[in-house]
Amino acid sequence: LKSFTTKLAKYDVLAIDDLGLNSEVMPAKIVSFLFNVIDARSPRKPTVITSQMKPDGLLRVFGSGAQAEAIVDRLLRPCKIISLKGESKRTTI
């Protein structure tokens, strides 16, 4: 797992899609992994996050505790939040 974290930290840009999609509190191991990746990248390398949640919703998904607050802090400072409004452009099957 440490080598995977190191690999993710080295990419010029990392995109994480649909973070917190299921709205459930993430297991502590996942929160710890995300913290390690984001901490290794921050602030030198851009990380793009897409989510249907607002920042306070992400804090709930990460759970309570110092790591949860640190992840959100690193993601939001500095950051550019782009909110998309309107109907989904995904096609239905």
Q: Spell out the domain ranges in the chain.
A: 2-76
| Homologous superfamily of 2-76 | P-loop containing nucleotide triphosphate hydrolases (3.40.50.300)
Total Cβ atoms within 10 A of residue 35: 18
**Full-model pTM:** 0.80
What gap in Å lies between CA 57 and CA 46, rounded to an integer? Answer: 22
- Asked whether the predicted pLDDT for residue 54 surpasses 90, the reply is no
What gap in Å lies between CA 28 and CA 25, rounded to an integer? Answer: 9
Mean pLDDT, range 27-55, rounded to an integer = 90
Question: DSSP for 32-70?
Answer: HHHHHHHHHHTTTS-EEE--SS-HHHHHHHH-SSHHHHH
pLDDT of residue 92: 67
| Number of H-type helices and E-type strands within the chain | 4, 2
